[in-house]
Amino acid sequence: MSNIVKSSNLGYPRLGEHREWKKLLEAYWRGEIDDQKFHETAKSLRLNNLKKQRAFGLDIIPVADNSDYDHVLDTIAAFNLIPTRFGSYDRPLTLSEYYAVARGNKENVAADMTKWFNINYHYTVPEFDNTKPRLLDNRWLRYWQEAKEELNINGKPVILGPVTLIKLGKLNGEYVSSPEDINRLLDQILPLYGQVFQELDEAGVQWVQLDEPSLVKIDDDSAISPYQRVTAYLHEIAPKLNVELQTYFDSIDTYQAVVELPVQAIGLDFVHGNGENLKSIQQYGFPEDKILAAGIVDGHNIWTANLQEKLDLARTLQSLAPNLWLQPSNSLLHVPITKKYETAASAALFGGLAFADEKLQELVTLTNALNGNQDIDVFEENKRALKALNDSEARNNVNVQVAIKNLSKQRFERQSKYAIRSKKQDDILNLPLLPTTTIGSFPQTAVVRAKRAAWRKKEISDLEYQDFVKAETKRWIELQEKIGLDVLVHGEFERTDMVEYFGQKLAGFFATQNGWVQSYGSRGVRPPVIYGDVDYLEPITVAESTFAQAQTDKPVKGMITAPLTIVNWSFVRDDVPRATVQNQIALALRQEVINLERAGIKIIQVDEPALREGLPLKKRHWQDYLNEAVYSFKITTTGVQDETQIHTHMCYSDFEDIIDTISNLDADVISIETSRSHGEIIAAFENAKYDKQIGLGVYDIHSPRIPTTIEIEDNIRRGLKVIDAKQFWVNPDCGLKTRTEEQTVDALRHLKAARDVVLAELR
C-alpha cells in the first residue's frame, strides 16, 4: 500500500444548496410532476454533488449516499424488508410504493420512525415480522455505474451494514438485540449483501464503505461475533473488493477485536468519544496491512477546524498508522452545504463557520499538508479567524458568566410537592376528565409561509405581518373552540421552527439564512448557531400568548422550548462545555416563564422532545447527561407559583430507561408520542409508579392519513390500561405544523369524538 495520504468523504448532504431536493419530493407528492421528471431531476442533483466534491480535489468520493427519502428506507426497499402490511415484492418498488412505506396511505399507517443514534435525523425503522428478504435492487451498483459513466468518477458505494440494519429494526414490536435474533436475521439478509458485493466486485468497484456505527455501542468482545461473521463472509464472497468498515459518533470499546476484522480499512471517529480511539491506537497499535480512515473534521457541527491542531493529530496518527485517509467524523448529511450565503454573519462569526463544502476543503488542505504541500497562508488565516471569534464581544459577556458562577448558590425546586400544587391547579383550571389539547403548532400553510417571506423581504410592514399573525391566531382559537378542545394553543404562526425562533430572540445566537439540514424526508430545519454567551433580551412569546388568551375563556398554553432541546437541535459552540451553554439558556428562559405567568398565562408548556434522543451512546455517560437535563429544566420552570401548571412534551423516545428522570423533571403534565411505535411506550409505565399527569399521543401527525375515531378510541383505551383516568390527557403525538388545515381539523374532530366515547364509558 502507498503511504500517500488520501482525502475521503463519508456522505454528502441531500437537500441541495437551495433545497432543490426537498422541493422535488414535495412537487412529486402534490402530483405536479411524474416519475420520469422526478428521476431526471434527482439524477441532475446527484451528479452536481459529485462534481462539486471532485472540484474540491477530494480523492475518494462516496456514491449511493443519496436517497429519495431516507438511507435506511432505501436499504429496506432494496432487500424487500418492507412491512408486510404494504405487501411483498419481486421487483423494485415504484416511487408511490416507496413513499407509501415512508408516509403511510389510506389503508396503512407509515413505518415507524425514530432518531438516528443521537443525531437530530429520523430514520425509518425496519420491521422484520414475516418479511421475505430478497434483493430487489442493487442501488449501490446502479449509482456507482452512473458516476463512472457520466463523470468518470470511480466512487465508493456507501451501504448500511447488516448488523446495524438489524439492530435498528424491530421484531415483534421490540428492537432486535438478542444474539439469537441477530443471527437468525443474518441468515436471511447476509446472502443478499453477498449478492450486492459480488456484483460490485465483478463490475470493478475498488472500494465500498460498509457503515456499522452500532459498533460504538457495544462494550464486550463477545458482542463482536456478528460483525466477524459479516466481514468474513463478504471477504470470502468478494475477495477483490476493498471494504472500509466505517464507525462514527463515538469511540470503539472493542478496539482490538474490531481492527482484526477481515477488511482493508477501518473508519474511526477522532472528534467524538473523549479521545478514546486515539488512546487505543497508542496503546495497542494499528495493523500495518490496513488503512486507518481517520475522521478528524467534525461531521455534525459547523465550526472551522483548528487546522494546526488537526494537522498535529493527523501527524500523530500517521506515525502510528502510515496508511492513512483523512475524512469527516461522520457523513456530512448532518450539516448545511455551504456557508457562502451567510452574508448576515459578522466577519468574526463568518470566519469561524465551516459547512459541508468548507469541511471538505479543510480535509483537502490537511491531506496536502501531510503530503508535503502545506499552504502556510491558509493556516495563518485559519489562526486569525479562530482568534477573532474567541476574542469577540459575544463570547465575553461578563454578566452571563457571573450568573453561571453563582448557580451553585441557588435552589431550583417548585414551592410545593406535586400533590399539593395539583389540587390548586385543578381548582383554577376546572378541566374535565380526559382533557383534550394539542401539542402546540398548527399548519404552516403556503399562505403563512408566503406572508413570512414577504415580511422578511420587507414587502409588507411589521404591523401588517403582526396583524396577519393575530388574525390566524384568532381564527384557530375559534376553530379549537368549535371542535370542543379543552386547553387551547395559539398555533405558533409567528415561528418557523421551535428552536430557531428562540435562537432569533436570545443574545449569543445566530439564525442562518441558508443553513438547512435534513430532519426527516423532505423536512429541513435550520438549526440556530449558538456562538456566544446566551442572554435574555426581552419577552419572546408573551405578546402572542396573551393575545390568544384574550380571545377565549378556555386556558391557552404558553409555549416555549426547553434548554436541552435547544442545545440538541442547535449547532453549539465548542469552546465551552455544553452543560454551560445549556444553563445559560435555562437562566434566560426562566425569565420568560416568569413573564408568562405575570401576564396571566395559567399553563406553560416547556417542550423537551430531544431529552431521550440526545442520550450519549455509551451508558456510562448517561447519568451525567440526565442530571444536567433535569437541572437545566428546573432552572427554567421553578420560578412560578404552585397554581401555574407546567407541561412538557417528548417525542420519538424509548422511555423505559429514563422514567425516573421524567419524574424528576417535576412537570405537572407530560405528553409523549406513542402512536407510531404502536403503543410499546405504554409498557414503560406498566410497572412505574408515575404520579403526575400524562398525555399518550393518540394519533400520528407525521402521516397525511386522517385517523378514524375508532382507532383513536383504541389508543385511548390502551393508555388507560396503565394510566389512571384522572391522570390522562388526550392529544396528538406532536405539533401539527406539517399538516394541512383539512387534515388537522378532521383529525382533531375525530380525537374529540373518541374522547367523548371513552369518557361516556367511564361514567
Lowest mean pLDDT among 74-78, 319-323, 684-688: 684-688
Residues contacting residue 398 through CB under 8 Å, at least 6 positions apart:
none
What pLDDT, on a 0 to 100 scale, did the predictor assign at position 500?
84
Residues 124-162 pLDDT 10s = 999 999 899 999 999 999 999 999 999 999 999 999 999
Task: Identify the H or E element spanning 757.
Answer: helix 741-762
673 is in an annotated binding site: yes
Helix (H, G, I), strand (E, B) or coil at 520: strand
Report the alpha-carbon distance of residue 475 to residue 678 in Å, rounded: 33
Residues 513-531 pLDDT 10s = 999 999 999 999 899 999 9
- Mean pLDDT over 488-503 rounds to 89
Catalytic residue check, 334: no
Residue 631: how many other CB atoms lie within 10 Å: 19
Q: Is the pLDDT of residue 173 over 90?
A: no
Report the alpha-carbon distance of residue 138 to residue 80 in Å, rounded: 12
199 is in an annotated binding site: no
441 is in an annotated binding site: yes
Report the alpha-carbon distance of residue 726 to residue 268 in Å, rounded: 51
Q: Is the pLDDT of residue 539 over 50?
A: yes
* Sequential DSSP letters for 442-492: ----HHHHHHHHHHHTTSS-HHHHHHHHHHHHHHHHHHHHHHT-SSB--B-
Q: Is the pLDDT of residue 450 over 50?
A: yes
Residue 644's alpha-carbon distances to 89, 426, 582, 597, in angstroms, are: 55, 10, 24, 7
492 is in an annotated binding site: yes
742 is in an annotated binding site: no
> What's the pTM?
0.89
Helix (H, G, I), strand (E, B) or coil at 599: coil
The answer to whether the CB of 564 falls within 8 A of the CB of 579 is: no
| pLDDT band at 652; cut points 50, 70, 90 | low
Residue 187: how many other CB atoms lie within 10 Å: 10
Residues of the chain by 3-state class (helix, strand, coil), percent to 5: 45, 15, 40
Handedness of CA 466, 467, 468, 473 (dihedral sign): positive
| pLDDT band at 212; cut points 50, 70, 90 | very high
**Cell matching residue 703:** 402521516
Q: Is the pLDDT of residue 659 over 90?
A: no
The answer to whether the CB of 739 falls within 8 A of the CB of 476 is: no
**Cell matching residue 312:** 498535529
651 is in an annotated binding site: yes
516 is in an annotated binding site: no
Report the alpha-carbon distance of residue 315 to residue 309 in Å, rounded: 10
Strand partners, 119: 116
What pLDDT, on a 0 to 100 scale, did the predictor assign at position 546?
97
394-399's contacts with Cβ under 8 Å and 24+ in sequence apart are: 394/348, 394/349, 394/507, 394/508, 394/531, 394/532, 394/533, 395/531, 395/532, 395/533, 395/573, 395/575, 396/533, 397/507, 397/508, 397/532, 397/533, 397/535, 399/535
Report the alpha-carbon distance of residue 108 to residue 105 in Å, rounded: 5
Report the alpha-carbon distance of residue 685 to residue 455 in Å, rounded: 46
What pLDDT, on a 0 to 100 scale, did the predictor assign at position 654?
62
| pLDDT band at 230; cut points 50, 70, 90 | very high
- Mean pLDDT over 352-356 rounds to 98
In this structure, which amino acid lies at residue 534? V
What percentage of the chain reaches a pLDDT higher than 90?
85
What pLDDT, on a 0 to 100 scale, did the predictor assign at position 575?
94
* Domains of the chain with bracketed CATH: 6-393 (3.20.20.210), 446-655 (3.20.20.210), 673-763 (no CATH)
439 is in an annotated binding site: yes
Helix (H, G, I), strand (E, B) or coil at 613: coil
569 is in an annotated binding site: yes
Residues contacting residue 445 through CB under 8 Å, at least 6 positions apart:
740, 741
20 is in an annotated binding site: yes
What pLDDT, on a 0 to 100 scale, did the predictor assign at position 498?
82
What pLDDT, on a 0 to 100 scale, did the predictor assign at position 610?
84
What pLDDT, on a 0 to 100 scale, did the predictor assign at position 120?
86
Strands, E, within 537-597: which ranges?
557-561, 571-572
Report the alpha-carbon distance of residue 9 to residue 209 in Å, rounded: 10
Residue found under cell 447527561: 625
Residue 409: how many other CB atoms lie within 10 Å: 6
Report the alpha-carbon distance of residue 528 to residue 499 in Å, rounded: 7
**Cell matching residue 660:** 425516573
Number of residues in the chain = 763
> How many CA atoms are closer than 13 Å to the CA of 240, on its beta-carbon side?
9
272 is in an annotated binding site: no
* Sequential DSSP letters for 631-651: HHHHHHHTTS-TTSEEEEEE-
* Sequential DSSP letters for 223-282: GGHHHHHHHHHHHHHSTTSEEEEE--SS--TTHHHHTTSS-SEEEEESSSSTTHHHHHHH
- Mean pLDDT over 200-220 rounds to 97
Strands 113-116 and 119-124: what pairing? antiparallel
Report the alpha-carbon distance of residue 683 to residue 749 in Å, rounded: 28
What pLDDT, on a 0 to 100 scale, did the predictor assign at position 678?
47
Residues 62-101 pLDDT 10s = 999 999 999 999 999 999 999 999 988 999 999 999 999 9
- Mean pLDDT over 371-394 rounds to 96
- Mean pLDDT over 113-118 rounds to 89
* Sequential DSSP letters for 8-30: B-S---SS-TTSHHHHHHHHHHT
Of these residues, 272, 334, 702, 750, which one is catalytic?
A: 702
472 is in an annotated binding site: no
Residue found under cell 390548586: 424
The answer to whether the CB of 169 falls within 8 A of the CB of 127 is: yes
Residues 25-35 pLDDT 10s = 999 999 999 99
Query: Residue 19's closest CA among 357, 513, 427, 408?
Result: 513
Query: Residue 210's closest CA among 323, 14, 64, 364?
Result: 64
What pLDDT, on a 0 to 100 scale, did the predictor assign at position 703?
80
Residues contacting residue 13 through CB under 8 Å, at least 6 positions apart:
332, 333, 335, 336, 337, 356, 517, 518
Q: For residues 116-128, b (16+ Cβ closer than 10 Å) or e, as one string?
A: bbbbbbbbbbbbb
Lowest mean pLDDT among 57-66, 294-303, 451-460: 451-460
Lowest mean pLDDT among 106-110, 496-500, 620-624: 496-500
> How many CA atoms are closer than 13 Å to the CA of 234, on its beta-carbon side?
33
Strands 174-175 and 557-561: what pairing? unpaired
Residue found under cell 447476509: 190
The answer to whether the CB of 45 falls within 8 A of the CB of 16 is: yes
